[in-house]
Structure 1
Amino acid sequence: MKVLTICGSPRPGGNTALALDEMENVFAEEGIDCERVTVGGRDIRGCIACGHCFEHGRCVFDDIVNEVAPKLAEADGLVVGAPVYYGSANGTVSAFLDRLFYSTGGQDKTMKVGAAFAVARRGGTSATYDELNKYFAISGMPIATGQYWNGVFGRERGEAAEDAEGMQQMRTLARNMAFLMKSVALGRERYGLPVKEPFQRTNFIR
Structure 2
Amino acid sequence: MKVVGINGSPHKEGNTARLIQTVFNELNRQGIDTEMISLSSQNISGCTACGACMKQKNRHCVITDDSFNVYLEKMIAADGIILGSPVYSADVTSQIKAFIDRASMVLAANKGLLKYKVGASVIAARRGGAISAFDTLNHFLHSKEMFLVGSTYWNMVYGNQIGEVEQDQEGMANMKNLGENMAWLLKKIHSNAEFS
TM over 0.5: yes
Q: How far apart, CA to CA, are the structure 1 residues paired with 2:116 and 2:167?
A: 34
Please name the residue that 1:119 is paired with: 124
**What's 1:60 paired with?**
62
Letter in 2 for 1:25: N
Q: Distance in 1 between matches of 2:140 and 2:12?
A: 25
> How do 1:147-166 residues align onto structure 2 when only pairs under 5 Å count?
147-166=152-171
Cα offsets for 1:173-201 (capped at 9, x unmatched): 111111111111122x1xx24xxxxxxxx
Figure out how many residues of one structure are paired with residues of the other and give that number: 190
Amino acid at match of 2:152: Q
1:17 aligned residue: 17
RMSD between aligned residues = 1.3
**Does the 8 Å CA contact 1:4/1:78 hold for their aligned counterparts?**
yes
Shift of 1:72: 1.2
Which residue identity does 1:6 align to in structure 2?
I
TM-score normalised to structure 1 length? 0.88
User: In percent, how many aligned pairs have the same letter?
Assistant: 37
C-alpha distance after superposition, 1:157-176 (max 9, x if no partner): 11111111111111111111
From 176, 180, 188, the counterpart of 1:175:
180
State the Cα deviation string for residues 90-110 of structure 1 (Å, max 9, x = none): 111011111123213315211
Q: Is 2:20–2:122's contact at 8 Å kept on the other side of the alignment?
A: no
Matching of residue 146 in structure 1 with residue 151 in structure 2: yes
Alpha carbons 1:83, 1:119 under 8 Å: kept: yes
Does residue 69 in structure 1 map to residue 72 in structure 2? yes
Deviation readout 1:108-146 (Å, 9 max, x if unpaired): 211101100111111111111111101111111010111
1:97 maps to: 100
Following superposition, the deviation at residue 154 of structure 1 comes to: 0.9
Deviation sequence 1:18-74 (CA, Å, 0-9, x none): 111211111110100001100134312211111111233211111221111211121
Name the amino acid aligned to 2:176: R
> Any idea what SS the aligned residue of 2:3 has?
strand
- Whole-angstrom CA distance in 2 between matches of 1:101 and 1:65: 12
Structure 2: where are the runs of 5+ without partners?
Answer: none
1:34 matched to 2:6? The reply is no
Distance 2:12 2:85 in 1: 13
Larger radius of gyration: 1
